[in-house]
Amino acid sequence: MPAAKGYSLLGLFSRKRRDRGGLTGVEIAPGGLALVHVDRGGDGVRPRLKSCEFVAGNHPGAALQGLVRSHGLAHTRCVLALHPSQYTIALIERPAVDDDELPAALRWRIKDLIDYPPEEAIIDTLPAATGSVEHDANQITVVIIRRDLAEELRRTLVDAGLQPAAFDVRELCQRNISELLPESERGLIVLQLSQDRIHVYGFHAGELLLGRRIAMRGDELASELATRRDGHPEENSALERTTVEIQRTLDFYLNRARRGQPACLLVVPFVSELPGLCTHLTQMVDLPCRPLDLNLLLETQGALPDTLQAATINALGAALRRPAEVPS
């Protein structure tokens, strides 16, 4: 996550490292562990994907140690992609205090957002997008993680032989990937499905404009699409709810964030097929929609199947963290 004066998660990490080149991204999710290693190369060169693997299960420490060993990644710098269950993110009113008083003021402001004492929290902020409406000028996006959980995750990385550099939230992991796309400068809406919820993001020229979590299971939408016949979706169906939420996101993007029409709507790979989704969304949202294929963005040793892309894409986003945002 971006450094923030006085309360950055980066303060947890050791700066001592032996750089082996490239960056390792890891996601420790409830259902398994993803590991990706990327060498970004120079300007105009596609990032080179050197390692990409997902291991299902509930023993991340042992699994990560095995992956680091088998891929020869000991002592590489690592960015951890936080799973949404591991952090809270919220847009709140910025306390009317000086910068040096902000950390203490934020602790009072977040107490209703978490179910543990504020003094046990680590708080960071996301960079504010420029050009939003004036009402948003005094708002701030906070990211909160429980201190003991952050230390547990950091220790898991260290015990596996990695050199932790930072944590990243899913919103910025997807931003990092979006920056590889030629449409990035014109703007993108990104739809990402997961088993327990749906995420919609808005990006423009490398800025995160919004990130929304929708309380709907991704496999519910996939199942409906697999059995759906031609025609309009039923009222309150998963497809209709998804369409409405994307339209709301687009309206915010255009009106509140004051950006022009985005170039396209991208659908991130999911563990199941999503037949007809892009065709439907193109018609209903009036925005060109296409699936995201990482094979077109990366130099790989072989084609990445959609299932592997879906399982490792957040770890990939962490490994693609901007070099300027990775502590040296």
Please, are residues 47 and 40 in contact by the beta-carbon 8 Å criterion?
A: yes
157-161, Cβ contacts within 8 angstroms, sequence gap of 24 or more: 157/26, 157/64, 157/78, 157/80, 158/14, 159/61, 159/65, 160/61, 160/64, 160/65, 160/67, 160/68, 161/65, 161/68, 161/69, 161/73, 161/74, 161/75
Cα distance between residue 167 and residue 179, in whole Å: 19
Q: Is the pLDDT of residue 167 over 80?
A: yes
Q: Is the pLDDT of residue 17 over 60?
A: no
Calculate Rg over the CA atoms of the chain.
20
What is residue 234's predicted lDDT score, i.e. its pLDDT? 77
Q: Answer yes or no: is 321 within a domain.
A: yes
Q: Are residues 165 and 249 in the same domain?
A: no
Q: Is the pLDDT of residue 230 over 70?
A: no
Q: Answer yes or no: is 196 within a domain.
A: yes
Q: Are residues 261 and 116 in the same domain?
A: no
What is residue 45's predicted lDDT score, i.e. its pLDDT? 83
What is residue 131's predicted lDDT score, i.e. its pLDDT? 63
Query: What's this model's pTM, rounded to 2 decimal places?
Result: 0.91
When divided into structural domains, the chain yields a total of 3
Q: Are residues 118 and 161 in the same domain?
A: no
Q: Are residues 49 and 162 in the same domain?
A: yes
* Average pLDDT score over the chain: 88
Q: Is the pLDDT of residue 323 over 80?
A: yes
Q: Are residues 103 and 133 in the same domain?
A: yes
What is residue 136's predicted lDDT score, i.e. its pLDDT? 62
Per-residue pLDDT of 70-129, as tens digits, reads 999 999 999 999 999 999 999 888 888 888 898 889 998 999 999 999 999 999 988 777
What is residue 137's predicted lDDT score, i.e. its pLDDT? 63
Q: Could you tell me what percent of the chain has a pLDDT over 90?
A: 66
Instruction: Give the structural domain span for 29.
Output: 9-84+149-172+312-325
What is residue 3's predicted lDDT score, i.e. its pLDDT? 35
Q: Is the pLDDT of residue 240 over 50?
A: yes
Joined tokens for residue 87 = 């952090």
What is residue 126's predicted lDDT score, i.e. its pLDDT? 86
Q: Answer yes or no: is 2 within a domain.
A: no
Q: Are residues 262 and 192 in the same domain?
A: yes
Please, are residues 264 and 291 in contact by the beta-carbon 8 Å criterion?
A: no
Q: Are residues 195 and 291 in the same domain?
A: yes
Q: Are residues 211 and 272 in the same domain?
A: yes
Q: Could you tell me what percent of the chain has a pLDDT over 70?
A: 90
Q: Are residues 195 and 252 in the same domain?
A: yes
Task: Output the domain CATH number for residue 200.
Answer: 3.30.420.40
Q: Are residues 161 and 48 in the same domain?
A: yes
Q: Is the pLDDT of residue 160 over 50?
A: yes
